[in-house]
A and B are shown apart, each in its own frame.
Chain A
Amino acid sequence: MMDLRELYQEVILDHGKNPRNHRFPEPHNREGRGYNPLCGDKVTLRLQLDGDKITDVGFMGQGCAISQASCSTMTQAIKGKTVGEADALFSKFHAMVMGEAGADDDFDSLGKLAVFAGVREFPMRVKCATLGWHTLNQALRNEGGEAKTE
């Protein structure tokens, strides 16, 4: 039996309904666009990079509770972080939702992001949880085009 409450934790429901940083920051100097062809979800992420530091970040877009909550908590987690720190968070987050061995040890260091651990049990929803992060990656690298989850 699957436990939906493992997936839809209160924090996720809350951020899904009322996403934080759901706005475009001004000024901003980086933009990423993400698209999940599986469900049609779209997200645009903009951020201000001062030197190596993400000083402001926000996103707009539509999507399911998981993808919206993931974008929301991600923006909170990376604000004020360096590019290297954000990359490290993404790696840990990715390992956690993919259920990669050994990932458990790292959950604490993910802070609030650890609420997405339940996604491991729902392989069809991993892409919802990582859409925002792929988009961030694209924005930081400032590559053209769209970040895709496929």
Chain B
Amino acid sequence: MTRPSAIAKATDAGFDVRRVRDDFPALHQEVHGKPLVYLDSAATTLKPRVVIDAVADVYARDCANIHRAVHLLSQRATARFEDAREKVRAFLNANDTNEVIFTRGTTESVNLVAQSWARTFLREGDEVLITELEHHSNIVPWQIVCQQVGAELVVVPMTDRGEITREAFEEQLSPRTRLVAMAHVSNALGTVLPVEPLIGLAHEQGAVVLLDGAQAVSHVPVDVQALDCDFYAFSGHKLYGPTGIGVLYGRERLLEGMPPYQGGGDMIRSVTFAETIYNDLPYKFEAGTPDIAGAIGLGAAIDYLRSFDQEAVHAHENAVLRYATKAFGSVDGLRLIGTAPGKVASVSFLMDAAHPHDIGTIVDSEGVAIRTGHHCAQPVMEHFGIAATARASLGMYNTTEDVDALVRALQKVKELFG
């Protein structure tokens, strides 16, 4: 069943998936008496040992609040926290660490831009442009702010293959468009959006562009300066890092002009009852004690990822994706949802024999973890006239054998429901 050639090829490219698998403790367990096959990395990636250790080490050794005290533990925690910010800066190729704001995740990053930038600068009659394939967390914050300021939410439709074309985008873009918020990679379908030309078009109209990079950061190279985007949001937990930590990159010029998102400690320079002077970037947007260990864990995840040749990681994932797409194609009565030519990491599908929910339960009993449901992208489901899909999604640790295990489990679905 396995095809050693596909694995060997990835190894040749300087990426040894066997070794990688050893770094992820969660992979080495049984579920329902079967070895775990984890195909749900789009929901959250597993964590390498170095990340788990980094988080534990913060609490075991450098357990202190940051930016507050003169004592040594606080100095160490602060240094490690700020070091993590520099790692994120380098990872995104941002110009300055001032442009890297720690948040709870993509969701909070998007809400920050909606409530700080958009709520301040949008007026009645302005338009916010999103696409049909967005995750709810890149829809709802815009609905909320549009209602608050009387702006209009405009949606770029996707094709039946799950693409956002330049033509469709241009059709909806207008001089009234003040902000474009779109996924870099779709979570429900795996589509990679042609963000570079779209950002160029948006800028020609004077619009500001936010990219939701939740699904992109672990699968495609991200360089915010080359992309020329104004905001970039992502979550640590989808980049082999901890939950509870995320990032908003913002262009310094824009961040400077934005009011704070939340008020509290750390985000101020001085407070009297008459007047409060806000702190400099990025602290202006980091009210309260952050997830210190989370940020440090994210730094460790970035170090881990960058210890590999990025191109080799992506090539390995793409080889497994191609293998999966082909293998699923050979399963009778299986239909792929989302067939854009440019895709990474995720395959959504339906089966004639069973509803996605039943597929999920049955393959779980075989040890295979996939996601079923609407993937927080109900407009995508509506486009295809369905309520849910089953989705297998890849991380750097997956192999063609994982795909084979899922295909075998899908045969069980057919046996049971046949």
Contacts and interface: CB of A to CB of B under 8 A. Distances in A.
A41 interface: yes
B92 interface: no
A124 B387 contact: no
Contacts of A2: 32, 365
Interface stretch (A59-67, A73-81, A137-145): A59-67
Contacts of B381: 40
Given A38-B373, A40-B374, A65 B387 contact: no
Contacts of A63: 355, 357, 387
Contacts of A8: 358, 416-417
A40 B361 contact: no
Given A39-B356, A41-B387, A4 B373 contact: no
B354 interface: yes
B372 interface: yes
Interface string B351-394: 00011111001100100000011100010010000011000000
A122 B372 CA distance: 15
A110 interface: no
Interface string A1-45: 110100110000100010000000000000000000011111000
Given A1-B32, A39-B374, A64 B355 contact: yes
B358 A40 contact: no
A117 interface: no
Interface in A73-130: 122, 124-125, 128
Contact of B355 (A7, A42, A65): A65
Contacts of B372: 39
A40 B378 contact: yes
A65 B32 contact: no
Nearest to A41: B387
A66 B357 contact: yes
Given A40-B381, A62-B387, A122 B361 contact: yes
A40 B387 contact: yes
25 contacts: A1-B33, A4-B361, A4-B362, A7-B361, A8-B416, A8-B417, A13-B417, A39-B356, A39-B374, A39-B388, A40-B373, A40-B374, A41-B357, A41-B387, A42-B387, A62-B355, A62-B387, A63-B355, A65-B355, A65-B358, A65-B417, A66-B357, A124-B361, A125-B357, A128-B357
